[in-house]
C-alpha cells in the first residue's frame, strides 16, 4: 500500500498549517543546512508499506533547500509533537541512499505481546499522512560503508536491521561499485519480509550481487513461491555457502541475539574480527573478541598511568578509564552498572547524569539539552578524573 506525494494533503491537528501548499514558495531564508545541529522541518511526501509491520515515510524539506547529506547506514534524529506528551525524540536509520532531495525512514510498528506499544512507531503509523510535518536534525552515526576498501562485502541483517543495509546496497549499486556483494537477510516469513521486491529490483541484472533470504517461520508456500531462498536461521553452513571467501568486509545489523550468533559463526568461518562492523541496539548487544575498529581512538596508546579515574559515587566503584571504550555509558556498563539510556546517540537525553567532580568532553556533540552539571554519558568521555552520580 502506498500514498503518492500528490495525494491527500489534508493532515491532522497542528500539522495543517505546516503542510507545503501551492502558494508556499518553500524557500526558507536563514537556516544553515550545513550546521550539524540545524533543525529542519520535513514534510511527508510519500508513504509506502514495506511489510505488515514496516512502513516507509519519504521526507522532503519544507523550505525546498538541499538536505544535509547522509552516509549510507546513518540515522536521522527526529522530534515528534505527540499530543499529551512532551516532545518525543527518536532516531531512525535512513533506509535510502542520499539523493539530495529526500530521506526515507522505514519504521517498524512496535507492538509485542506483554510489552508496552512503541509510542513513536505506533503514532507515526497511525497519524502521519502525506503533508504532515516533523522536525529533524542532521544525519548522524558511524556505522557506514567504507568506500575505500577493496575486499568483497557482505550485508547481513535480521528483522528491522535491514534498514541500513538497504541504504548501503542502494549506495553500492548507484556508484557501480565493482566489489562482489552478498546481501543476506533473515526474516520470519513472507508477511514480515520488508523490501522484498525492492531488493530484487535494485539488484536485477547485476551478476556481482548475490541476494539470499532465509525464512525462520515460513508460511505454507513461502519456499515454493520463491519468496525465500532457504529455510531456517542463518548459520555457519549457510555463511560458508554464500560468502565468496573469509577475506570479506561484513556489516551486521539486527537483534542482539541474532548479531551474536552471526558474529560467532563468522569467526568460525574465518572472517577476521577487524572486518566485522555492526550496529548496536543496546548495552552488550555483541560480545566480540577484540575492540571494534570504530572504537579504537588515538587515546588507546596512552600509558596506563595516564588514564584518568572514573568514580561512580553512588555505587562506590572507581576504575581507570579504558581508552578503547566508546563512551562513559559503555564504561559504566562494563563495571556492572545499568544506567538509564534511550537513543545512545545524544539525542533523547535519557542518559543524563550529574557530574559531581571533574571534567568531560563530547566525542559527538549531543543534540539533547542538559541541566547545569549534567553530562550525557552516551556520547561523552572523561577529560581527566571524573566522578558521576551513579
* Span of 140-144, 176-180, 347-351, 376-380 with lowest mean pLDDT: 347-351
**pLDDT class for 180, splitting at 50, 70, 90?**
very high
Provide the pLDDT for residue 34: 39
Mean pLDDT value across residues 158-179: 96
pLDDT at 86: 77
* DSSP reduced 3-state for 59: strand
Going by pLDDT thresholds of 50, 70 and 90, the confidence category of residue 4 is very low
Q: What is the pLDDT of residue 31?
A: 35
Q: pLDDT tens, 323-381?
A: 888 899 989 988 888 888 777 778 778 888 999 999 999 988 887 778 888 999 988 99
Per DSSP, the three-state class of 299 is helix
Query: Residue 170: left if φ>0, alpha if ψ -120 to 50, beta else—which one?
Result: alpha
Domains of the chain with bracketed CATH: 2-136 (2.40.30.10), 153-294 (3.40.50.80), 298-388 (3.10.20.30)
**pLDDT recorded at residue 338:** 84
pLDDT digits (tens, 9 = 90+) for 249-275: 999 999 888 999 999 999 999 999 999
Instruction: Flag whether pLDDT at 299 surpasses 80.
Output: no
Q: Read off the pLDDT band of 157 (50, 70, 90).
A: very high
Per the listing, cell 572472517 goes with 271
Q: What's the pLDDT score for residue 114? A: 56
Name the CA radius of gyration of the chain, rounded.
Answer: 22
- So what's the pLDDT on residue 89? 84
Query: What's CA 3's distance to the chain center, in Å?
Result: 25
Q: Which of 53, 99, 107 is nearest to 75 (CA)?
A: 107
How far is Cα 227 from Cα 268, in angstroms, rounded to an integer? 29
Tell me the percentage of the chain whose pLDDT exceeds 90. Answer: 62
Q: What is the pLDDT of residues 31-78, one digit of tens each?
A: 333 344 468 999 999 999 999 999 999 999 999 999 999 999 999 999
**pLDDT exceeding 70 applies to what percent of the chain?**
83
Asked whether the predicted pLDDT for residue 302 surpasses 70, the reply is no
Is 83 strand, coil or helix? coil
Average pLDDT over residues 87-104: 93
Give the confidence band of 305 by pLDDT, cuts at 50, 70, 90. low
What pLDDT shows up at residue 297? Answer: 39
pLDDT band at 319; cut points 50, 70, 90: very high
Which of 186, 170, 213 lies closest to 56 in space, CA to CA?
170
Residue 6 predicted with pLDDT over 80: no
Helix (H) or strand (E) holding 171, with range, is helix 162-174
Q: What was the pLDDT predicted at 372?
A: 86
Q: What is the mean pLDDT of the chain?
A: 84
Cell numbers describing residue 355 = 557530574
Most confident of 85-94, 356-365, 379-388: 379-388
Residue 301 sits at φ, ψ, to 5 deg, of -90, -5
**pLDDT number for residue 29:** 29
pLDDT band (50, 70, 90) for residue 88: confident
Amino acid at each position: 500500500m502506498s500514498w503518492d506525494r500528490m495525494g491527500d494533503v489534508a493532515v491532522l491537528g497542528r500539522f495543517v498549517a505546516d503542510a507545503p501548499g501551492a502558494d508556499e514558495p518553500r524557500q526558507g531564508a536563514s537556516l544553515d543546512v550545513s550546521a550539524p545541529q540545524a533543525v529542519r522541518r520535513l514534510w511527508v511526501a510519500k508513504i509506502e508499506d514495506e511489510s505488515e509491520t514496516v512502513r516507509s515515510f519519504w521526507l522532503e524539506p519544507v523550505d525546498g533547500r538541499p538536505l544535509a547529506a547522509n552516509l549510507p547506514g546513518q540515522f536521522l534524529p527526529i522530534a515528534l509533537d505527540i499530543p499529551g506528551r512532551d516532545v518525543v525524540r527518536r532516531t531512525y536509520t535512513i533506509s535510502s541512499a542520499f539523493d539530495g532531495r529526500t530521506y526515507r525512514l522505514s519504521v517498524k510498528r512496535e507492538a509485542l505481546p506483554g510489552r508496552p506499544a512503541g509510542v513513536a512507531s505506533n503514532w507515526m503509523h497511525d497519524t502521519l499522512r502525506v503533508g504532515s510535518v516533523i522536525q529533524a536534525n542532521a544525519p548522524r552515526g558511524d556505522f557506514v560503508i567504507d568506500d575505500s576498501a577493496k575486499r568483497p562485502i557482505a550485508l547481513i541483517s535480521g528483522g528491522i536491521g535491514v534498514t541500513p543495509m538497504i541504504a548501503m546496497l542502494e549506495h553500492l549499486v548507484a556508484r557501480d561499485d565493482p566489489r562482489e556483494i552478498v546481501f543476506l537477510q533473515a526474516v520470519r516469513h513472507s508477511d514480515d519480509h520488508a523490501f522484498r521486491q525492492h531488493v530484487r529490483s535494485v539488484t536485477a541484472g547485476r551478476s556481482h550481487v548475490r541476494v539470499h533470504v532465509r525464512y525462520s517461520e515460513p508460511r505454507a508456500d513461502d519456499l515454493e513461491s520463491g519468496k525465500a531462498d532457504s529455510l531456517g536461521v542463518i548459520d555457519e553452513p549457510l555463511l560458508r555457502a554464500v560468502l565468496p571467501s573469509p577475506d570479506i568486509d561484513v556489516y551486521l545489523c539486527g537483534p542482539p541475539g541474532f548479531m551474536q550468533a552471526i558474529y560467532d559463526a563468522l569467526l568460525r568461518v574465518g572472517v577476521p574480527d577487524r572486518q566485522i562492523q555492526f550496529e548496536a541496539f543496546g548495552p552488550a548487544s555483541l560480545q566480540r573478541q577484540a575492540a571494534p575498529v570504530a572504537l579504537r581512538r588515538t587515546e588507546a596508546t596512552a600509558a596506563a598511568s595516564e588514564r584518568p579515574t572514573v568514580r561512580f559515587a553512588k555505587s562506590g566503584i572507581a576504575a581507570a578509564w579504558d581508552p578503547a571504550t566508546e563512551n562513559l555509558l559503555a564504561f559504566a556498563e562494563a563495571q556492572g552498572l545499568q544506567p538509564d539510556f534511550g537513543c545512545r546517540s545524544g539525542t533523547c537525553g535519557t542518559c543524563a547524569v550529574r557530574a559531581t567532580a571533574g571534567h568531560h568532553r563530547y566525542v559527538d556533540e549531543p543534540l539533547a539539552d542538559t541541566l547545569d552539571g549534567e553530562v550525557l554519558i552516551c556520547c561523552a568521555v572523561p577529560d581527566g578524573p571524573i566522578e558521576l552520580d551513579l
